[in-house]
Every structure is written in C-alpha cells, then in structure tokens.
C-alpha cells in the first residue's frame, strides 16, 4: 500500500509540473501519459485488486514478506556494486564460549564439584550449590582452546556439558 501511495504522490507531482510553465521533451510527455494511464487504472481497481497488485508489485521489485531482498539489479543501481548478498556479508565467527553443565551423574557429583572448584574461584559450598542448580553456566567468555579441556574433563567424570 505504501508503494501505491508513493506512486500516487509521484504522479501527483508530475501533474503539477506538467501544468506549470516548464517545457518537457516528447519522451517525458509520453512517460507522464503512461503514468497517468497507470494511475487511472490503479484508482479504478477494487480494494482486493489493489491488494493483489501491491503484492505482485513488491514481488517484482524483489521485496519479501519481512523486508527488501538485495537483488543484484536493485543493489547494483543503489550502491554502484553488483554482487551477490552472500559475498558482501561476512558471517562473524563466535570467539567467546560459555561452558554449560546440562546434567550430571549423581554418583560422580563430588568429583564434578571438585573439578568445578579447580577452574573457578569458588569455595566448596558455592561450587556445590552451582553444580546442584544444573542446567547452569559454569564459566563465561572462554576461548575454544580454554573451554575444550574443561569440557573434556567434565565429560570424563560423567557430566553432560555443552559449549554455548
């Protein structure tokens, strides 16, 4: 509907310019006649037909349901570059990971608490409370190299651990 309104405003502006004292070339006059014809046809449509037209128009321009799509023709005209959107956007690699304890074997609870104490600065009571709250994040903001040995050790003890 916004596109129809914008088209209407553009056509309205053309009518004003045409009625003013500016001189137009024959090419511009034929374009304005075409636009006048299109505007008349749009105004004669029913609401359902206008809605269908707006969907078709958005589809032809490359707009999707959730916003504009970056097609080569549209982005090439707007930015001066023509390329695929996949090559222009780079996916950021995750560098900071959180070690999350999902669940653990109750028989290995004491060993897991001791291991949690080794890589955190928690006392016995705090580590015990933390482990009993599972699922819980044990350590935040680690690199993959730092988190790997922790995850491996906890898995050896019978815990289910994930990197987030």
Task: Tell me the H-state helices in 20-108.
Answer: 26-43, 47-61, 72-79, 85-88
pLDDT of res. 1: 53
pLDDT digits (tens, 9 = 90+) for 140-155: 888 888 888 988 888 8
Domain boundaries, given as residue ranges, for the chain: 2-87, 97-163
Lowest-confidence segment of 3-12, 34-43, 127-136 by average pLDDT: 3-12
pLDDT digits (tens, 9 = 90+) for 75-124: 444 444 445 455 445 556 777 888 888 888 888 889 989 888 888 888 89
pLDDT of res. 96: 81
Output the CA angle 93-120-99, nearest 5 degrees: 30
pLDDT digits (tens, 9 = 90+) for 44-87: 888 888 888 888 888 888 776 555 444 444 444 444 444 545 54
pLDDT of res. 74: 46
Instruction: Judge whether residue 127 has pLDDT over 80.
Output: yes
Give 6-37 as a DSSP string: HHHHHHHHHHHHHHSS----HHHHHHHHHHHH
pLDDT digits (tens, 9 = 90+) for 7-22: 565 565 555 555 554 4
Cβ neighbours for 153, distance < 8 A, ≥ 6 positions apart: 115
pLDDT of res. 73: 46
- Multiple choice CATH, 97-163, 3.30.1390.10, 3.90.700.10, 2.60.40.10, 3.40.50.1820: 3.30.1390.10
Stretch 31-49: mean pLDDT: 86
Q: SS3 sequence, 108-161?
A: HHHHHHHHHHHHCCCCHHHHHHHHHCCCEEEEEEECHHHHHHHHHHHHHHCEEE
């Amino acid at each position: 509907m916004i596109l129809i309104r914008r088209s209407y405003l553009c056509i309205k502006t053309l009518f004003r310019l045409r009625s003013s004292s500016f001189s137009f070339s024959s090419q511009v006059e034929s374009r304005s006649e075409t636009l006048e014809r299109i505007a008349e046809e749009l105004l004669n449509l029913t609401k359902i037909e206008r809605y269908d037209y707006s969907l078709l128009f958005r589809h032809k321009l490359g707009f999707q349901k959730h916003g504009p799509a970056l097609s080569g023709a549209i982005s090439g005209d707007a930015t001066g570059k023509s390329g695929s959107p996949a090559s222009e956007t780079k996916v950021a690699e995750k560098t900071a990971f959180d070690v999350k304890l999902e669940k653990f074997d109750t028989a290995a609870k004491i060993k897991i608490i001791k291991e949690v104490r080794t890589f955190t600065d928690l006392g016995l009571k705090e580590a015990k409370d933390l482990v009993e709250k599972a699922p819980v994040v044990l350590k935040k903001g680690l690199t993959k190299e730092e988190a790997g040995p922790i995850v491996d050790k906890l898995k050896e003890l019978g815990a289910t651990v994930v990197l987030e």
